[in-house]
Amino acid sequence: MRTLFNQLTPINLAATLCNRFSNSNHLCTSISASPNLPINQIAHIICCVLQECTSFSCLKKTHAKIFAYGLQYDSRILTKFAIMYVSFNRIDAASIVFEDIPNPCSFLWNVMIRGFATDGRFLSSLELYSKMMEKGLKPDKFAFPFALKSCAGLSDLQRGKVIHQHLVCCGCSNDLFVDAALVDMYAKCGDIEAARLVFDKMAVRDLVSWTSMISGYAHNGYNSETLGFFDLMRSSGVIPNRVSILSVLLACGNLGALRKGEWFHSYVIQTGFEFDILVATAIMDMYSKCGSLDLARCLFDETAGKDLVCWSAMIASYGIHGHGRKAIDLFDQMVKAGVRPSHVTFTCVLSACSHSGLLEEGKMYFQLMTEEFVIARKLSNYACMVDLLGRAGQLSEAVDLIENMPVEPDASIWGSLLGACRIHNNLDLAEKIADHLFHLDPVHAGYHVLLSNIYAAKSRWNEVEKVRKMMARRGANKIQGFSLVEYDNQVHKFGVGDRSHPQWEKLYAKLEELAAPMKHLGYVPLTDFVLHDIEEEAKEAALSYHSERLAIAFGLINTSPGTTLRITKNLRICGDCHNAIKLISKIVNRVILVRDMHRFHRFEDGVCSCGDYW
């Protein structure tokens, strides 16, 4: 070995040693064999050997050796180690090394920001980004996408906007990957308009940026825009991926657009995505949300390799359609098949029990969750149980459950109980719950409207007005109700008393035509659902033109006799419309499916599938 060292110059000595000794033990042996080797050459050898480390174990052993040569404070070597730790996804180890470097270079700051973001530690990534900026160092075009990814992961729109300003100042705004990350950040943070502005300015658009826009539209409730953007993407020659297909199927389900959904199902088969379990589950869920429960079940039965998500989705489908016992049966089949349920699965089962009034069964599964499956209950499980008890009129038991929860109840749980007070007209309890809710979430319009409904049902108009003024003062704007119906490959939208549709005169005439036979069958308007202190005749008129009735009138005018009508409503269907649609289904001899924000109602021959328990 000494002969070898004597024959080599300092420059090619390091290269030769690195070629011959590729692990830390041989490294130590080779360096020991040449005691007069300069320290800078030893450092160079170590840096070269680092590049050959193929495992975390090897990297740690090499790291330990540097202390023997007094190199533990060498910034160049520490920088190399930090970078290597990040490459092995060992961000904690990299962070320890990073902290020992007096003045890390900009490149290492950028690597660390990327490392934390890749590891899903978004807050740490952004904290490091802020420290870097404080030191006057500039992130590069490789760091900005990961800082923006962290903002997206935290839904931190404000910090995302600040980083947007920084990258513009640094001249990185025209980089493909930076712009794609910007689109993704804005979309995931809910600012879809800003996402579209960035997207439209991009000189080159890759599949990441297209997918981010489609996913952003779908998950922010822009369902029609999702479908339109998907068509635009395909016409631009971009081949959709799994995420974009999932987004489109979600939008179809949200719109209740069955014909569109069928077309996309065909497209999925053509592109080979039908064997993707997530896509197959999304298709099944789409059919269920469009009212085709039988078809959803057929697809479920044909799906190979069903995972927990697939089972849970089908259980949830039975639940929203009011088939609680079928949901329970399917849950039992899942357990027998060896698939272990999660807290999400139990949420689906408990919700199904709630919609079907299966009180004792719901209590049993609530107990089984912890006693047999040892699954910690989440807030969603408690919310379902409170809803189940509340709908069944067990308000005191629901209050006891809330008060004895091991975790602090959130607004959704109190909101479920307030909804039960509306069903059972319990004003005293409703006022106490509402007072608590208004402190938890003072700008949630739904809670104010629920309390106002209860006051209106008891003709307490002064209190109704007080709640309205409170809403205005707090900026709690009431969500506008609307109903959707698909016809001729388009989705038509109607609001209450809507006169914007080209056929509005025919729609009103159709509803007036139905009024006489409805009264003949015993229809009596439930005017307590009108939240105005006005004359009874005016209340009846206000009820007659609710959005779901206009959507039904449109369907009756434009579709053939016997065609099933599918209506999607963004809010809970009111009791008066529920009664009216039962009678309309009998008069016109049609099946009318109405999906509101909670569940499906299948109206046929004067009855509803919910059995008036909703």
pLDDT of 286-337, one tens digit each? Answer: 999 999 999 999 999 999 999 999 999 999 999 999 999 999 999 999 999 9
Question: Which tokens is 143 given?
Answer: 């760091």
Residue 547 banded pLDDT, cuts 50, 70, 90:
very high
- Is 59 inside a domain boundary? yes
- Is 63 inside a domain boundary? yes
Residue 58 banded pLDDT, cuts 50, 70, 90:
confident
What pTM was computed for the model?
0.82
Q: Give the integer Cα–Cα distance in Å for 218 and 187.
A: 10
Half-sphere exposure of 377 (CA within 13 A, CB side): 22
Neighbours of 74 (CB within 10 A): 20
**pLDDT at residue 541, rounded to an integer:** 60
Which amino acid is it at 324?
Answer: G
Among residues 104, 133, 164, the one where a domain terminates is 104
pLDDT of 361-374, one tens digit each? Answer: 999 999 999 999 99
**pLDDT at residue 2, rounded to an integer:** 26
**pLDDT at residue 604, rounded to an integer:** 96
**pLDDT at residue 578, rounded to an integer:** 94
**pLDDT at residue 15, rounded to an integer:** 41
Please write down the long-range contacts of 237-243, taking CB distance under 8 Å and 24 or more positions apart: 238/205, 238/207, 238/210, 239/207, 240/211, 240/271, 241/207, 241/211, 242/273, 242/276, 242/278, 242/279, 243/211, 243/214, 243/215
**pLDDT at residue 530, rounded to an integer:** 60
Q: Give the integer Cα–Cα distance in Å for 430 and 451.
A: 7
pLDDT of 190-248, one tens digit each? Answer: 999 999 999 999 988 888 899 999 999 999 989 999 999 999 999 999 999 999 999 99
Among residues 104, 127, 151, the one where a domain terminates is 104
- Is 213 inside a domain boundary? no
pLDDT greater at residue 84 or residue 124: 124
Residue 274 has pLDDT above 80, yes or no: yes
- Is 87 inside a domain boundary? yes
Asked if 209 and 199 touch (Cβ cutoff 8 Å), the reply is: yes
**pLDDT at residue 18, rounded to an integer:** 39
Q: Give the integer Cα–Cα distance in Å for 375 and 131.
A: 41
Tell me if residue 592 falls in helix, strand or coil: strand
Give the helix ranges, DSSP H, for 170-257: 176-188, 192-201, 207-219, 223-235, 242-255
Give me Rg for the CA atoms of the chain: 32
Q: Give the integer Cα–Cα distance in Å for 325 and 319.
A: 9
pLDDT of 517-531, one tens digit each? Answer: 999 999 988 766 565
**pLDDT at residue 565, rounded to an integer:** 96
Among residues 80, 104, 128, the one where a domain terminates is 104
Asked if 175 and 203 touch (Cβ cutoff 8 Å), the reply is: no
pLDDT of 440-489, one tens digit each? Answer: 888 888 899 889 989 988 888 899 999 989 988 888 887 888 999 999 88
Residue 1 banded pLDDT, cuts 50, 70, 90:
very low
Give the helix ranges, DSSP H, for 321-458: 324-336, 343-356, 359-371, 379-391, 395-403, 411-424, 427-440, 445-457
Question: With pLDDT > 90 as the criterion, what percentage of the chain qualifies?
Answer: 64
- Is 377 inside a domain boundary? no
Q: How many domains does the chain have?
A: 2
Question: With pLDDT > 70 as the criterion, what percentage of the chain qualifies?
Answer: 87
Give the containing element (helix H, strand E) for 492. strand 490-495
Residue 13 has pLDDT above 80, yes or no: no
**pLDDT at residue 564, rounded to an integer:** 95
- Is 464 inside a domain boundary? no
pLDDT of 115-163, one tens digit each? Answer: 999 999 999 999 999 999 998 888 888 889 999 999 999 999 999 999 9
Burial 522-540 (b: 16+ CB within 10 A, else e): ebebbbbbbbeeeeeeebb
**pLDDT at residue 22, rounded to an integer:** 41
**pLDDT at residue 364, rounded to an integer:** 97
Span 404-413, average pLDDT: 91
Look up the domain containing 95 and give its range. 2-104
Residue 414 has pLDDT above 60, yes or no: yes
